[in-house]
Amino acid sequence: MIARFRRGQPVPAILLSTLLLAMLTTAGSANAQSAGASPEPYRLHPGDVLLINVLEDPELDRQTLILPDGRISLPVAGTIVAAGQTPAGLERTIQRRLRKNFVKLPTVTVGVVSLADPEDDEDALREVFVLGEVGTPGRFEYDSEKPITVLKALSLAGGLGPFAARSRIQVRETVDGAETVQLFDYDAIEQGAGVSLKGLTALQDGTVIIVPERGLLE
């Protein structure tokens, strides 16, 4: 039943209060929806450092860096384009890659350990990426006026880990548009041999150093 009032007839106080309450509730709801709008999810960039965990198999857990080409490499899952994806999206991609190796879809989490710095001065700074069995894998900057070697880059990354394949360290650089891969024997350098190896010459901007895990017989 709808109440009707003649023009000039006063509105009962209880009805007026009800109308005011309804108006305030509507306005408050609209403001809450506006304030609670979810921000755009973060999308990954080259240079971001990720922590990837696989609940069902901790041996697949990795801290890895998104390389300049936007890719990451993971055991079993292989090479994946991570740049442009959200962390949640990358989780799903890794799950699909690992699915055939598990009875059911594995539980994967992707955390962002550190973000790429978008304000780098490209003219003054160069960068090197150190991945794998080192203390702190990641992206490291250095002054273009002070070139660094593999030894210096490994030092910046916290040194070799206890499970590092010390004689099979990969140094990946791009020369004339083609990627080159050279092996670096840390033990040989440490013992004073192999002075002509890559470890004693300056690295190019964007060099990627990969320290793999040693095998059972190494």
Q: What is the pLDDT of residues 59-86, one digit of tens each?
A: 899 888 888 888 898 888 988 999 899 9
Q: Helix or strand or coil: residue 79?
A: strand
**Tokens at residue 43, please?**
């999308």
Q: What are the strands of the beta sheet with 169-175, ordered from one edge? A: 138-143, 125-132, 207-211, 169-175, 178-184
pLDDT band at 1 (very low <50, low <70, confident <90, very high): very low
Contact 139, 65 (CB under 8 A): yes
Taking Cα atoms as reference points, which of 98, 101, 81, 87 lies closest to residue 43? Answer: 87
Average pLDDT, the chain: 79
CA–CA dist 77, 73 (Å, integer): 8
Beta strands 207-211 and 125-132 are parallel
pLDDT tens across 22-38, in order? 555 555 555 545 455 66
pLDDT tens across 156-194, in order? 999 999 999 999 999 988 776 677 888 889 888 877 665
pLDDT at position 38 is 66
pLDDT at position 214 is 84
